[in-house]
């Protein structure tokens, strides 16, 4: 299972919770504060939102996910 975190620096991280040593992988980084993230029950889609009136959707099953346009 994976866990996702988002920081005030705009970085969204993915953590593989099955590994003994947990090293984060950057999913996306943009410069805007992330206020909230959520993941779909099937763990395919992640949505993030912040202060600048945006929503971003990511397919986190991809190796290097980019926001869906």
For the chain, 69 residues long, give each residue's pLDDT as a single digit of tens.
899 999 888 899 999 999 999 999 999 888 888 899 999 999 999 999 988 788 899 999 998 888 886
Rounded to two decimals, the pTM is 0.84
- Strand locations in the chain, DSSP E? 2-6, 11-16, 25-29, 34-39, 45-50, 55-59
**pLDDT number for residue 25:** 92
Report how far Cα 10 is from the mean position of its chain's Cα atoms: 10
**pLDDT number for residue 46:** 95
**pLDDT number for residue 48:** 93
What pLDDT, in 10s, does the model give residues 8-24?
888 999 999 999 999 99
**Using CA of residue 41, residue 16, residue 60, residue 39, what is the dihedral sign?**
positive
């Amino acid at each position: 299972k994976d866990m996702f975190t988002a920081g005030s620096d705009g970085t969204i991280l993915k953590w593989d919770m099955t590994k003994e040593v947990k090293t984060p992988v950057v999913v996306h980084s943009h410069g805007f504060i992330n206020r909230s993230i959520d993941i779909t029950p099937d763990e395919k889609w992640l949505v993030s939102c912040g202060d600048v009136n945006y929503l971003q959707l990511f397919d986190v099953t991809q190796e290097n996910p980019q926001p869906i346009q």
